[in-house]
Structure 1
């Protein structure tokens, strides 16, 4: 820009000189003016050439900056991730929905433990690794990933993945709810995925929605009211311990919920045995319930839903939460997702229900 302004100044000076000397009728003045104009044009051409070269260099530099590697910090330490990664494999069900929403293409995944409505489920180019119980690990060799996002149910296979994909960058997306709050870990996890895939802006947008849902639920909740978490599966109702219990437990700490029962849990995966009489005695003002079977039952299978189990239990009908209709159910596919989006939906549901009840 500075060179272009200089060009304008040179042209103005040359023109003024030409007019002055022409008025004197001097041939020599005319020649001088012509030389001045020629010099100005030469300077301008040089300026434009220099600026053009600078623009080309900037474009080349931008392309170089967009490729190479980026260093991220995961559950294991630091990892050099290829940018952009060309063959991506993902095993963590808690990050795959974000990747699908961002339009990230993948080459392999354990589709059997992922939600069925993902675009990957119908993509023939995606190698199905099965499930975490009996995964087809040998398929990883054929998939030949250069970036692997793995963790949670596949955490025990970290070493196997290293052996089978020795040239891949492996990012451990595992969260540590035992030593850090749920919200902090979900944010750390999504930021990690966003950095690894160069989708930081999209990740931040999800984080902003997540934080807003926490604020909404916190403001709607009356801390004088007690809350109990329940999990239903196989026709049974189980107790979810505050803080440590599966899925619902960490919510108590995030939202500052007052437990109706502070009994420690032993089974963080499937809830702990509890009698309906014990639930009735605790008499919670609110119930937060996860229907595990809703996510894993095959299409056409018959099972008793959480709503049916609670409605059909005579012992629960006088519980304040049941009598008042103060029951919040987790999204039906929560057991297969357990991601930031699922918690955002849950918190928004709690905010709406609790806000309406006040």
Structure 2
């Protein structure tokens, strides 16, 4: 009985050793095969769980909010929408090897197909084309990771950055970017006195538009993040990229202590700007209706970085919050 049991044990051990050797060795001249976990990562994009290749070979990106991050990490792109990128990312815009998808109003989606991408990062201005892009590129993974509606803008940007870090193997750098945003928000919040009223505006083609707290383009989410007291709240306000069309007199009547302005025209070359455009600071200070508001009288006008309208990513907001901290602290 003892002999039979010993033989069985020996046979089992021998089989295990053989299987182990087969699993760990590879034919001469070949590297052992990598596991699926080493080459893909499962992320949750705006549509659900997606298995995405890690460090994909051919990438197309359409979302302006991610270009700063990809450029920092030296991620090569096969195609981008150069017509909505201004001159912010010359590594992509000026490279003839990077194909041009055009703009979101009349995109050339065939350019994407021609590049035979492994990964397409869509969304943002190109969100309406998601289904079409997926249909045209059945062999590519298509994801959208731009900030989702009805979610906290800055949590969404951090989520976006974390996902990019997983895909492009830059998780430590993604963590640093997110921590930098958190620190900038905390600094700007501490610098605000909690009582001054704030008006956010958009300037374009010589006009001053109203950007509503929470929903207003670019600056709306800053209000809840910093606990700003709005100078004016308009029922039915929208996230229109030009701001809501209310009179400058209505802005003046709200008597804001601060005016923070997104200059929509500043990101474009002079020949590309709409007729009548002028710098935001000039428009506000020269407005007859605004002459007596505290923000103008005390020179408490903050104009965002000229490229903010094009970037709007984690780096852009980190810079904005740092700018706001400096302005409010100086006052």
TM-score by length of 2: 0.86
1:303 deviation in Å? 2.8
CA root-mean-square deviation: 2.0
Q: Give the secondary-structure state (helix, strand or coil) at the position aligned to 1:289.
A: strand
1:117 deviation in Å? 3.2
Q: 2:319 aligns with which of 321, 334, 345?
A: 345
Relative to structure 2, which stretch is displaced further, 308-317 or 124-133?
A: 308-317
1:150 deviation in Å? 1.0
Query: In 2, Cα distance between the equivalents of 1:154 and 1:124?
Result: 22
Q: 1:229 aligns with which of 171, 181, 200?
A: 200
1:84 deviation in Å? 2.6
Contact 2:54 2:166 in 1 (8 A): no
Query: In 2, Cα distance between the equivalents of 1:61 and 1:281?
Result: 72
Query: In 2, Cα distance between the equivalents of 1:172 and 1:135?
Result: 17
Aligned to 1:268: 240
Change (3 A) 1:303 1:247: same
Contact 1:152 1:174 in 2 (8 A): yes
Query: In 1, Cα distance between the equivalents of 2:154 and 2:50?
Result: 23
Summarize deviations over 1:69-100 as a string: whole Å, max 9, x none.
11111101111111230001100000011101
For CA contacts below 8 A with separation 6 or more, give which structure has more relative contact order: 2
Contact 1:232 1:290 in 2 (8 A): yes
Aligned to 1:206: 177
Q: 1:162 aligns with which of 126, 134, 144?
A: 134
| Greater Cα radius of gyration, structure 1 or 2 | 1
Query: In 2, Cα distance between the equivalents of 1:61 and 1:253?
Result: 52
* Gap runs ≥5 in structure 1: 1-52, 55-59
What aligned pairs does 1:318-329 form with structure 2 within 5 A after superposition? Answer: 318-329=292-303
Aligned to 2:61: 90
* Gap runs ≥5 in structure 2: 1-23, 26-30
Aligned to 2:249: 277
Aligned to 1:133: 105
Query: In 1, Cα distance between the equivalents of 2:81 and 2:51?
Result: 24
What aligned pairs does 1:177-326 form with structure 2 within 5 A after superposition? Answer: 178-264=149-235, 265-299=237-271, 303-326=277-300
Query: In 2, Cα distance between the equivalents of 1:231 and 1:117?
Result: 20
Q: When you count helix as a share of all residues, which structure comes out higher?
A: 1
- 1:172 maps onto 2:144 in alignment: yes
1:327 deviation in Å? 1.0
Contact 2:88 2:307 in 1 (8 A): no
Q: 1:102 aligns with which of 73, 86, 93?
A: 73
